[in-house]
Structure 1
Amino acid sequence: MNESMTLMQAKAETQELERSIVDAFPSDQVAAVEQRQEGVLLSCSDDQYQWTGGVEFTLAGDLSERDVAERVVGALESKDGWSSEVQDWKDGGPTAIVSGPQGLSFIGNLDADRLVTIASASRCFTLSEDQSPFSKY
């Protein structure tokens, strides 16, 4: 667990990694990007939390579902301490699953409307006394 990381540092790191996933796609194939600016907290333990967010972008190119999942995996797989794989989900097609240190994670796939959705969760951290686990950040 990361006792020294703050909520805002965890959020900033996670959003930066989300953008690096988008940047793994050719810019001429990304038609629109929407990154969530607010997220909610999930509990890691009794006193540790994760910020959850995500990014969505529309593809103009003709990449397949598998190509998209493999590109999401490829955007982060070379980092030390990370694991990643493409799983074939029964109802959702190929899905990228990427796990980093201290709970950091990303799940992404492409839908029929060419929308790539990446859900994310930050490293686990401790809230400061003036922050509520029930607020949006």
Structure 2
Amino acid sequence: MKAELTWQEAKAHTQAMQLEIAALIPKDAVILIDQKKKGVLLSCNKTQHNWNASTTLTVAEGTELEPIVGAIEAHYRANGAKVSVDRNVDENYRIQIDPPAPGESYIVSEGLSPNEIRIASGSACFTLPEGVYPGGDF
């Protein structure tokens, strides 16, 4: 990512990465991909923000989710990405992929329903143009 990243570029890159991760899920298991068109900005530091949103995949009932999340973990580890693993509050297997760009991360886990995989993400950090209020939808 270049140093002078715009929020639009950060959003586009992050959405593309969400779909790259989604493409690793077996096609025959995927029923629906719901990528949020808008997200929110969160502070990285005093002067920078990152764009945050999610993509939720509905998979066929009975699909085992943990092996799919594990395969995504293995893919990114094999390609040299920093990946951490834990369990969320519901004890579901969860991975976090952290590219080198400050602020950028992707969390892949079971979703709110038993047949969902959620990809929550934050873009690389960027500086908003002067006068742009960081609240609201982006």
TM bucket (normalised to shorter chain) is: 0.7 to 0.9
Where does the alignment leave 5 or more consecutive residues of structure 1 unmatched?
Answer: none
Kept after mapping to 1: 8 A contact 2:65/2:117: no
User: Taking every aligned residue pair, what percent have the same amino acid on both sides?
Assistant: 28
Structure 1 ranges of 4+ moved more than 6 A = none
Distance 1:123 1:70 in 2: 24
Offset at residue 63 of structure 1 (A): 4.3
Aligned CA-pair RMSD = 2.1
Within 5 Å, give how 1:108-119 maps onto structure 2: 108-111=108-111, 112-119=113-120
* TM-score for both structures, normalised by structure 2: 0.86
Contact 2:29 2:63 in 1 (8 A): no
State the TM-score, normalizing by the size of structure 1.
0.86
Offset at residue 29 of structure 1 (A): 1.1
CA positional deviation for 1:41? 0.4
Give the CA deviation at 1:50.
0.4
Deviation of 1:88 after TM superposition, in Å, equals 2.9
Answer whether contact 1:99 1:106 (CA < 8 A) is retained: yes
Structure 2: give runs of 5+ residues left out of the alignment: none
Shift of 1:68: 2.5
CA drift of 1:27 comes to 1.3
